[in-house]
Structure formats: C-alpha cells, structure tokens
Structure 1
Amino acid sequence: MKNLLTVLCILFLSVVTYSQGKVITQNFVAASIQNNKGGEDANRRLSIYLPPDYETSTQCYPVIYVLHGYGGTDSLMMSVWFNFKELLDEAIKTGKMRPMIVVAPNSNTKLQGSFYTNSSVTGNWADYIAKDVVQYIDKNFRTIPDRRSRGLCGHSMGGNGALKLGMQFADIFSAVYALSPAVLDWHGDFSLASRGFKRISKLNNIESIVKGLNESNDFDAFFAAVLTAMARVYSPDVSNKGLLANLPVTYVGDSAVYHPAVINEWEKQFPFHMIDHYLPQLRSLTALKLDWGRNEDFSHIPFTSLQFSKKLEAYRINHFAEEYIGDHGNILGGFDGRIFNELLPFFDKYLR
C-alpha cells in the first residue's frame, strides 16, 4: 500500500509539473531604437512564456505578442496586472487553447510610453515590435515563422498599438485583438481641450513633466506626460530643445493656440484615420477583434472604439466588436475575465 501511494504521488507531481509552463526574461539590443535622439535605451527586455511541453518536445509553436499599456512594462503585463502565466497554464491544461509561446516586449520610455510608433526622435517603435522582436523570437525559439501563426494583442496603449501594427504589418501578423484600445481618435477626456496641453506649455521640459507625473496623482499631470510622449512620436522636432517635439495646442497665458499642421500630423497616426489607408491589409487579417468596458475610466475609449468598429463595418471589413459591463481593467484578469475566456480562445481558433 505504501509503495502504491508513493507511485500515485509521483504520478500526481508529474501531472502538476507537466501542466506548468514558465516565464523567462531575455535582453537584447533593438536595432530599430539604437542611436535615437531622445535618449531611449535600445537594450530591451522580453518576458516570454514557454508552454509546459516546450523543453521536452521538438514541436514548433504559434506565438502571441502582447503589448503593454502606458506606464507598463513587460513584467507588469505578464505577471502582475493580469498574471498571464496562471491563465495560460490553465487554458492549456483545460483545452481552451493549445500550447503557444507568448511574448511581452518592454516598450516603456522616458515618458512611459512609446505608442508603438516610428519616430525620428525616440526611435522606431513599430519596427522594434514587428521586426526586431519577431526576428529575435523566431531565431531563438521554436516558433512557426509564418504570419498565420502570429497573433498580436494589447491593452489600452497596447490595444492602440495592436490595431496600428496590425494594419501596418499585416504581412507579419494575422490575428489581432485590442483590449480597451486608447486614443484611437479625439474625444472626451482625450481632446484638444485637454488641460494637459496647458500644463506642458507651462513646464516645457521633459524633466519637469516626468517629475510631475511621479509626484502628482491628478489627471492634468498624467495627461501632460501622455501627450508629451505622443508628441515625441507623432510630431517629433529636434529643433524644439525643451520637448524635441511640436504640440497641436500651445498656450499664451490662458489662451489656447491651435496648430492645424501638427493636428493633422497626429490624426494621421490615429488608428481611426489610418483605416482609410490600410483597407487591403485589414481585409487580409484572419481575424480582428476589439472590446471595451461600458464603465470605462477614460471616457474617450467607449466612444472611439465604437466609431472605429462602425468605420470598419462601413468598409465591410469583417471583425468582432463588443462592449461589456466593466471599466478599464477590472474584468480582464482572473479565470472569469476576458483574457481567459475571450482572448486566449480567440487565438486558439484563429492561429495555425
């Protein structure tokens, strides 16, 4: 009887061990960010989930790339905010998805957000994801190096990035899922009337804006940092010594001055406006989905997400769009959340 119990314990431990994947971190130098004028570090970290059988098999795997939000990092996205490892282990164990590699690249910057956009000041952050990271993963891990086996997703700023890169690099990624995608277009708390622009005009240097973000809990300081980060990628200008960027709105005292040329530069980078120029790419995607919470903390997200979906619909681009009862992040994690029940099965279905 004792021997039988020992055997059963060994079998149980073997099952538990088999059902656990692991998260590793690796650093590499991103060629697309090297030699940038904004002082951004090209040495980048990746958090990589390897499925339970990775080390004991010779199998090649599909890859899901996960883009973090503003102020986030790869480790926060993978382990702290949503605990991807626990969700992935359980999804694979229960058959919600087959074994896959999941990669979260660190895209944090001095202003805490790259907005996944190529910039003459801060470096080429779109190329960093779609070229540097993908090539590094394909070279160093057993992937299926085919667009049909690559998925792209993200939350908030990362949702914006997923939609944007899905359009720009439809030859690299085939399935895209955006969770609560931020700043798809102007609206509500993200508008030209934002008090963040006034705060930027008053401070007019990176150090003071970063200090304000770190020391203040108010939305003005938050949006000042967000808008400055966006300016450095949407309207970079090295001749502006304070910000290395131009702003769509500046202030003379309490009076706003609008700059149509810069506004136009920003709108060209907004995913809502990009749709018009990427119709073949959007139609080539295997699957596209976005969702958002009805009780969002950021008022622009529900409105612009719906408008984005309506524009896709007007162009007859197949996609999924859904509003659910929740806020910016409270319904995403956990075994009853949308990552486990919607996002992971989505990629299981649409990746080869």
Structure 2
Amino acid sequence: MLPWSAPLSGRVEHGVVHSALLRDNPLGDPHERPVYVYLPPGYDEDSGRRYPAVYVIQGYTGHVAMWFNRMPFRRPFPELADEVFAAGDTPPAIVVYVDAWTSLGGSQFLDSPATGRYHSYLCDEVVPWVDARYRTLPDPAHRAISGKSSGGYGAMVTPMLRPDLFGALATHAGDALFDVCYLPDFPRVARLLRDTYDGDYAKFLADRAERVHGTKESDNDLIEIYGYAAAYSGNADGGVSLPFDDTGAPVPEVWDRWLRWDPVRMAAESASALRGLRGIWIDAGRGDEYFLDLGATAFRRAVAAAGVPDDRVHFELFDGRHGGIEYRYPLALKFLCERIAP
C-alpha cells in the first residue's frame, strides 16, 4: 500500500460548475464549484458507448478535494472505486464527485434561505452539466446517488424529492431518526453556548470570524448544530432559528421544522418515489457515536413500510463506528452499478 497516490485504470477530470443558483448566496460562499468526474476504463476506446452515473456526496465539513486525502494505512475512495471497475466484474459507470460545502460546514444538500439553493444546484445544475459533457445515460433508471453521514442524508432525501432524476441510492450512516441522532446534543450545546458566549450564537459567530476555526474547544460542536439549523430551520430573512432554548429543551415550532426533513418521516410521504427506485443500500457501524445505526434501522423499516420489495434493498449493520468506514463505499458502488446498468 503506497503512502502516496496510486495510478488509476480509469481517469479523473476536474471541472467547474458556474452556478447561477448559488450566486449571491446568503453566506457569500463561492458560486463557482469544482466537480470531479471519474471516467471508467474503456471510456475513451468506444466513443459510442454511454454509461450510467453515480453521484457521490460528502459528509458535514466535506469538500470535493478531500476525496483524495490519504490516511495512514488506508486508501482514498477514488482509488477504491477505480479498483471496482478495474476488476472487470462490475458494470462500468461514470462517478461524479460533487461539492456542496458552505462556510458553516455543509448544506445538507437542501435549499435553505440561510445557506443557499444546494438541492437545486445539485439537481438542476450539476446533473445537466455532467450530462452535457459526458456520455451518460440521462435517465433516472441509470443515475444513482451515494454518500456518508450528511452525505448519506443527502443520498436518502434527494431521490425522494427528485425521483425524476435518481433511480437508486446508497446511504452510509446517514443522518436519520432525528429524535435519536440530534436531540441528545441539544442540552450539551446549550451549555457550551451559555458558558462560552453567554448563550448568544451571534457572539460565537463574530468571534469565530476573527480567528482560525478550531482554536477553541467548543468550535466544532457549536458550528455543527448551527450548520444543521441553517439547513433545516433557516428563515426567509437569512436568519437561523435554533431548535432548542437556553435549557436545551426543544422549541416545538422549530423542532417540528427539523422533523419534516427527517428521512424516516419523509419516507411515508415519498412512498411512491421509494418504490420506483431500482436499488437502496443502507448500512452503518454498530458502534456509531451518533446512533446512526439506529437511524439506519429506522429508515430500513420506513422503506419497507413504503412498499419497497426486499430484493431491492441491502441493509447491513457492521462492526465499526462513524469514522474510518470508507472501505464500505466500494461495496455499495458495486451494488448501485449492478442496479442501474443498462
């Protein structure tokens, strides 16, 4: 295992999406976004062949260049994905690495007046950009989406919101069952906010803007919950409503806005969209620190209740925690490619 980059059997092209939808977004984040497109072995040899596409999205704090980060004794996902196709026993596909980073750490791949139109950007700009430049099969039956953590969340909700675009999904430890994965953090974050910033998020944001993020121990916990709130309970004026009060107790009217975005609850209203999917991969580590193994279990049950046949679903709880599970991604990639192949 090399400690530096290894050669690929396919190749990766780097492009830029000039997004009209993200221009002048509330956070002032860039509207020009990088996109990495992996082309499988053989793509250049047969100019008449068209390919299905798998869109890959990242977790909270992720940006597209991080896909190539190399941890000790581990390989980055683009190399693992390339190995899937190089083996020759998986139908080839184009793999699209999407950037939806925000200066709050992430967008949850939703449209929000507090962050920007990241769901629409993905669906109405990135997908057409790829279809216009590469030999895709531009049909939902041949297009899938995959992600981990917040990316797993996006992979769950995007096909429910846009079944006209995506025909399969894979979610690894995706945010789900909000009562379990988010609610327990509220008292702890309320206490941190009280003790470090007099309970005032505006003071935290102003202080954070003047220094390097992470130089205070409370930074990550405070920005994460605020980033989620900006996605789930952003307001028309660009402000953000917190889902808890100064005691850490939920604010019912705001918490209800969050719950409407819970994939477990969305599944009932999106039953038809879920039944139309060709494949659904759900997995999580049994020791997930955010209890997303329980969220995965609840989403699997919601998918079954929606009437999705068992033979279209792969569900697995494996020994592991939230991090260090990139070895799971190529397993799901193979599953997806087999389901969306022509």
TM-score norm. by structure 2 comes to: 0.86
Query: Which deviates more, 272-281 or 33-42?
Result: 33-42
Residue 339 of structure 2 is aligned to residue 350 of structure 1: yes
**Residue 199 of structure 1 contacts residue 221 of structure 1 at CA under 8 Å; is this kept in 2?**
no
User: Distance between the aligned counterparts of 2:181 and 2:267, measured in 1?
Assistant: 21
Report the equivalent of 1:303: 294
**How far is the alpha carbon of 1:208 from its aligned partner?**
3.3
| Residue of 41, 55, 59 corresponding to 1:52 | 41
Q: Which amino acid aligns with 1:182?
A: D
Instruction: Label 1:198 to 1:276 Cα distance change in 2 as closer, same or farther (>3 A).
Output: farther
Structure 1 residues 192, 145: closer, same or farther in 2, change over 3 A?
Answer: same
What letter matches 1:259 in structure 2?
V
Percent identity, aligned pairs only? 25
Contact 2:281/2:332, CA 8 A, preserved across alignment? no
Deviation at 1:297, TM superposition (A): 2.8
Return closer, same or farther for 1:207/1:66 CA change in 2, 3 Å cut-off.
farther
1:80 and 1:131 map into 2 onto residues whose CA distance is 32
Greater CA deviation, 88-97 or 152-161?
88-97
Measured on the aligned residues, the alpha-carbon RMSD in Å equals 2.4
Question: What is the CA–CA distance in structure 2 between the aligned matches of 1:223 and 1:164, rounded to whole Å?
Answer: 24
Out of 235, 244, 252, the position equivalent to 1:249 is: 244
Note if 1:315 corresponds to 2:312: no
Return the match for 2:285 from 274, 282, 293: 293
Q: Which deviates further from its counterpart, 147-156 or 179-188?
A: 179-188
Give the letter for the 2:41 counterpart.
P
Please say if residues 30 and 42 of structure 1, whose CA atoms lie closer than 8 Å, have aligned partners that are also in contact.
Answer: yes
Q: What is residue 215 of structure 2 aligned with on the other side?
A: 215
Corresponding letter in the other structure for 2:323: G
Q: Does 1:134 align with 2:127?
A: yes
2:260 is aligned with 1:268: yes
Matches for 1:174-193 after TM superposition, within 5 Å = 174-187=167-180, 190-191=183-184, 193=186
Q: 3-state SS of the aligned residue for 1:214? A: coil
1:13 is matched with: none
CA shift at 1:196, angstroms?
1.9
TM (normalized to structure 1)?
Answer: 0.84
TM-superposed CA distance for 1:256, in Å, is 4.1
Count of aligned pairs:
322
Displacement of 1:20 in angstroms is: 1.5
> Which residue is equivalent to 2:3?
none
Q: Alpha carbons of 1:135 and 1:189: their partners in 2 closer, same or farther (altered >3 Å)? A: closer
Residue 247 of structure 1: CA displacement? Answer: 0.6
Residue in structure 1 matched with residue 155 of structure 2 by the alignment: 162
Three-state SS of the structure 2 residue aligned to 1:33 is coil
Q: Whole-Å Cα distance in 1 between the matches of residues 221 and 317 of structure 2?
A: 25
Counterpart Cα distance in 1 of 2:263 and 2:208: 26
For 1:188 and 1:87, the matched residues in 2 are separated by 29
Bigger Rg, structure 1 or 2: 1
Amino acid in structure 1 at the alignment position of 2:324: N
CA offset at residue 72 of structure 1? Answer: 1.1
- Tell me how far apart the structure 2 counterparts of residues 86 and 212 of structure 1 sit (CA, whole Å): 32
Unaligned residue ranges in structure 2 (runs of 5+): 1-5
Greater mean deviation of Cα atoms: 308-317 or 25-34: 308-317
Residue in structure 1 matching 2:51, options 61, 86, 91? 61
Return closer, same or farther for 1:136/1:78 CA change in 2, 3 Å cut-off.
farther
Distance 1:203 1:96 in 2: 55
CA distance in 2, matches of 1:27, 1:56: 25
Partner of 1:339: 329
- Aligned residue identity for 2:252: P
| Map 1:63-212 → 2, pairs under 5 A | 63-78=53-68, 80=70, 83-187=76-180, 190-191=183-184, 193-200=186-193, 202-205=199-202, 206-208=205-207
1:117-174 Cα offsets, whole Å, 9 max, x none, are 1112211111111221101000111111111111100011100100010211111010
Q: 1:56 aligns to what SS in structure 2? A: coil
- Cα shift at 1:330: 2.6
**1:224-243 mapped onto 2 (5 Å cutoff):** 224-237=222-235, 239=237
